[in-house]
Structure 1
Amino acid sequence: MLNKRNNKYKISLQEIELKEGTSSGKTVEFEFENHDNILSLIEMTKDSDRFENKAENVEFIVGLKLFSEVLLRNRYNPLFEDFAPAFKEFINKLKGK
């Protein structure tokens, strides 16, 4: 079901340490598609001064792209009904429109 207009990615998330100081070592790995070239976006913004902690630029892009693609695919889901207009405004502000 690969849409040729999308890029395909795999994310692996590994539990390193929980706030209590423990870790089960659990991991989650999943594949997803996105219309943007996420690695290119990360490369362009990783050294941005958007956040004081430079690593947060990468966290921000990955989180934003994961969330926004789900929102786009489910734009008519009642869950996003009230949120979608504000998100569109946010994206326009982010892109400088």
Structure 2
Amino acid sequence: MKKRTNTYKLNLELLETVKPVTTVYEPIEFEFDNHDNIFDIIALMKARDMFKTPQQSVEFAIGLKLFSEVMLKNSDNVLFEEFRPAFSDFMKKLKGK
């Protein structure tokens, strides 16, 4: 059976803090699956120019895809119960732009 998701790797590293910290945070690197091509979505969001900077378009696209995929994979979680209808409306509005 053919795989129906794309696999990505994300690396998160703290570069600078607003306030001094004594904790040393190790970078977090993880792989995740998503049913969409996130690079295509990033390009689309940049082209739509909906935010103040192209970088914000990238941040939005990645954050949205990470969040929405977790929500899809946990559709029976009561945490999302009340939020799901509003999220569905939000996605329709976003895709309609």
* TM-score, reference length from structure 2: 0.88
The runs of 5 or more residues in structure 1 that have no matched partner are: none
Cα distance in 2, alignment partners of residues 44 and 21 from structure 1: 37
What aligned pairs does 1:1-97 form with structure 2 within 5 A after superposition? 4-21=3-20, 24=24, 26-96=26-96
Q: How far does residue 47 in structure 1 lie from its aligned partner after superposition?
A: 4.2
Structure 2, unpaired ranges of 5+: none
Q: CA deviation at 1:21?
A: 4.8
> RMSD of the alignment, in Å?
1.9
The structure that is helix-richer by fraction is 2
Provide the C-alpha distance between the structure 1 equivalents of 2:8 and 2:56, rounded to a whole number of angstroms.
20
Q: Which has the higher contact order (CA 8 A, sep 6+)?
A: 2
Letter in 2 for 1:43: A
| 1:62 counterpart letter in structure 2 | I
Deviation at 1:44, TM superposition (A): 2.5
Q: Distance in 1 between matches of 2:83 and 2:27?
A: 30
Tell me the TM-score normalised to structure 1 length: 0.88
Conserved in 2, the CA contact under 8 Å of 1:10 and 1:30?
Answer: yes
The 4+ residue runs of structure 1 with deviation greater than 3 A are 21-25
The size of the alignment, in residue pairs, is 95
